[in-house]
Amino acid sequence: MDRVSRLSAHFVHDTQGLAGSVHPEATSASGSGKFNVALLGAAGGIGQPLALLLKQSAYIKELRLYDVANTAGVAADLSHIATGARVTAHSGAEALGTALFGADLVVVPAGVPRKPGMTRDDLFNINAGIVRTLVAGVARYCPAAWLAIISNPVNSTVPIAAEVLKAAGVYDPARLFGVTTLDVVRARAFVAEATGAAPEAVTVPVIGGHAGVTILPLLSAAVPQPRLSEAEAKALMARIQDAGTEVVKAKACLAGAGSATLSMAYAAAEFATSCLRAKAGERGVVECAYVASNLTSSPFFASPVELGPGGIARIPPLPRLSPLEQAGFAAMQEELASSINKGLEFAPSTMAPSAIEVNAVLRPLLLKDLRNQCRARGLTPAGSRESLMDRLQEHMLSTGDMTIVSDFTGDLLPSAVGNLAPTHADGAEAEGEYKENAPGHSQAGFGSEDVSGHVKNNYVRPEGQNVGNFLTGRSSSRVLAPPGGHTNITFG
């Protein structure tokens, strides 16, 4: 089966019995596919046509469209297509968590594209931060997802993503990909043009990276083999390397000029489909991608990779390069290394979360969850929603610790006991550390246990009865009474 038939065989063209009710959050009926796919940057030039292609995938159960704004309209539009993938819309930083939670594959075309006269590297200053933020979300909400980065400069954004995932302790190089499929798609199209072969039947490995001279098409390994003089091969290689700029120039006259979007969407759909095929257990799926690699001295390198259910199963050795390709390989090294270093250097220097990111993480949490986050950090969990948010925000910004615990059952640290300052029963809290559910600590109305398990609280009462402050024989007592909430007492 040729490549196009193979790709289209994975798309659904007709699905029966789909309801078409439109809702900005959940816009089409539940699909029969297996996987949840999040598309970050879904309202953009690449995002929209890519969403259209993915909506037709029989592998996708839910397609989550995330962008800073405008995903509701895109999702409503797509929901009228009678295919099984359910489309949901998620707009704004606060919706990142719902877009990502439980995603199997995350595809990232978020960021600014090139304008005429710009190199991909010129995009670094804006896109590096966007990728960093989004990947931090991936680490937090779907750490086991496969992650496919389209945002340029891919040579740098993938190393940034790797550092962010590493810092979060969830990095698996087998699941992180820079999408270079467009270079392969272009190489196929141009080789087909040069040879007269059907484009669907052409294969051309493209190695290196995804910018200028780092894009190295291995024409000597193309099938069918183009019969080209060295000058023709050189010219074809240069055209493949500059094809993105060809599109940027051709689009210069369009309002809001940008880079390749339609061919990129096609290429990304092909790459995403390959990921889902491999994830579903299909064997022998091979795609070129920019990945962590030890094929060469470069820590990240694009080459054909074999995909398996857990991500990259194998990176086959490179084929023998022609003298022209060897020269191209040597010529790319400096630029590739410098782009990778730029990414690696950027990541730690900006690892501290921004107030917007912290806010986006905290805002969706319920009051009880905010209290739990405070407890897990040894912060007092009393007070209003706003004061809990402020306290957590200050802590997260100063420590960079963005962990969200699902429940807290920590132990009381011995050192914390003596440091407790008094708190007022009206909910005003004192400085100092606070832990509950621990030996030596009691909750009002319940018998607290000492380390040996003996009940020590003489003031056991039915739950809900506010007991206020007591006089006890202990050196100090502390009452935490959030307005309308449960009353907690810590004895120190």
Ligand X SMILES: NC(=O)c1ccc[n+]([C@@H]2O[C@H](COP(=O)([O-])OP(=O)(O)OC[C@H]3O[C@@H](n4cnc5c(N)ncnc54)[C@H](O)[C@@H]3O)[C@@H](O)[C@H]2O)c1
Q: Known catalytic residues?
A: 210
Q: Which stretch binds ligand X (CB under 6 A): 146-154, 224-232, 459-467, 470-478?
A: 146-154
For ligand X, what does the binding mask look like between residues 15 and 54, x meaning CB under 6 A? -------------------------xx-xxxxx-------
User: Total residues contacting ligand X (rule CB under 6 A)?
Assistant: 32
Residue placing its CB nearer to ligand X in the complex, 15 or 119: 119
Report the site for ligand X in 260-299 (rule: CB under 6 A): 260-261, 264
Report the site for ligand X in 62-101 (rule: CB under 6 A): 67-68
Residue 304 tokens, joined = 């054909």
Residue 118 interacts with ligand X (CB under 6 A)? no
Q: What's phi and psi for 67, nearest 5 deg?
A: -160, 170
The radius of gyration of the chain's CA atoms, rounded to the nearest angstrom, is 28
Applying CB under 6 A, which of residues 97, 113, 137, 383 lies at the interface with ligand X?
Answer: 113
- Give per-residue burial for 150-188: e unless 16+ CB within 10 Å, then b: bbbbbbbbbbbbbbbbebbebbbbbbbbbbbbbbbbbbb
Tell me the residue length of the chain: 492
Residue 156 interacts with ligand X (CB under 6 A)? no
Residue 251 interacts with ligand X (CB under 6 A)? no
Which three-class secondary structure string do you get for 296-348? CCCCEEEEEEEEECCEEEECCCCCCCCHHHHHHHHHHHHHHHHHHHHHHHHHH
* Distance of alpha carbon 448 from alpha carbon 419, whole angstroms: 20
Residue 151 interacts with ligand X (CB under 6 A)? yes
Residue placing its CB nearer to ligand X in the complex, 110 or 358: 110
Q: Which stretch binds ligand X (CB under 6 A): 82-90, 128-136, 331-339, 342-350?
A: 128-136
Place of tokens 């074809």: 236
Q: Which stretch binds ligand X (CB under 6 A): 147-155, 196-204, 348-356, 358-366?
A: 147-155
DSSP state of 203: B
Residue 209 interacts with ligand X (CB under 6 A)? no
Amino acid at 108: V
Q: Tell me the closest approach of the beta carbon of residue 41 to ligand X, in angstroms.
A: 3
* Distance of alpha carbon 371 from alpha carbon 150, whole angstroms: 38
Q: Which residues bind ligand X (CB under 6 A)?
A: 40-41, 43-47, 67-68, 109-114, 123, 127, 130, 133-134, 150-152, 154, 179, 182, 210, 258-261, 264
